[in-house]
Structure 1
Amino acid sequence: MSKKAPSKFNASRIRDHLANERTYLAWMRTAVGLMGFGVVILRLPNFQPPEVPRLGISWKMGLLFASVGLITVLLSTIQYFSVRRAIDQDTYEPSDKIIILFSGAIALFGGAIIYIVFSISQRNIFFLQ
């Protein structure tokens, strides 16, 4: 039994490619959001009153978020073409690795942001009293 090559105009295959493209575009929106959030974090000290002490960590967190955004662009592009090839070859199997990787990274960064925000607010409360 020989395996028949999929037709180029198979409606199901076209839907699969379109779904892959929508997923890729969602990853791109996520990457742009991460980079934008990095810029906001970077600029955050400029919105504090001058008498409030600065932690000096916002530029590191901003750079980290922007870097993760760029890494997201790279990895999602690689994933897009990998899935595209698998759909064409009719060998696609979903992978949990990239989901676990980014979920863990965002949870870690979110925890760091929460810690920093509460540290700053606690320092501000004690400083202003």
Structure 2
Amino acid sequence: MQLSFKPMKVDEEKLKQQNLSRAIDRSANERTFLSWMRSAIALMGFGVVIVRLRVVQIPVDHRHGTGWKLGLVFSLVGLATVLISTGKYFMIRRQIDENTYEPSDWLIFLFSSAVGLLGMGVIYFIFAAAVSPSSFVIPD
């Protein structure tokens, strides 16, 4: 009785599976990165909108508005999101290639906290801004 083993075939199949798995993981990493980029663009765009609302808003008293500061913070958080997510993308890509990927919670916590604080700033800005009844920002 003769037994024939084909270890070469098994190794090739395993290698193909690992390459496919790695390609799927890389694609997921790229989709996540693009999602972070969309979020960053939205934050920067919202910052511009807030600054532009200051121009449309007709204040009751003629003090200097602080809306531009909130808009600037939105834009800075958006820019920071671009920088952090780019670094995170390359770090995860390297970890995928080395089979050492471990998800981390700190980035999710950081980004959620930043967006939550910005949301509170928007709510404060909307309710604390003194506007006249003829303002385009808050309709009757």
For 2:38, the equivalent position in structure 1 comes to 29
User: 2: CA distance between counterparts of 1:106 and 1:55?
Assistant: 25
Stretches of structure 1 that go unaligned for 5 or more consecutive residues are 1-5
For 2:104, the equivalent position in structure 1 comes to 95
- Alignment length (residue pairs): 119
Runs of 4+ in 1 over 6 A off after TM superposition: none
Q: 1:124 aligns with which of 117, 131, 135?
A: 131
Amino acid at match of 2:60: V
Q: Considering only aligned residues, what root-mean-square deviation do their CA atoms show, in Å?
A: 2.2
Sequence identity (%): 54
User: 1: CA distance between counterparts of 2:15 and 2:83?
Assistant: 30
TM-score, normalization by structure 1 = 0.83
| 3-state SS, counterpart of residue 131 of structure 2 | helix
**Structure with a larger share of its residues in helix:** 1
For 1:17, the equivalent position in structure 2 comes to 26
Which structure would you say has the larger Rg?
2
Greater mean alpha carbon deviation, residues 54-63 or residues 32-41 = 54-63
User: 1: CA distance between counterparts of 2:50 and 2:64?
Assistant: 12
Deviation at 1:119, TM superposition (A): 1.1
Task: Find out whether 1:65 has 2:74 as its counterpart.
Answer: yes
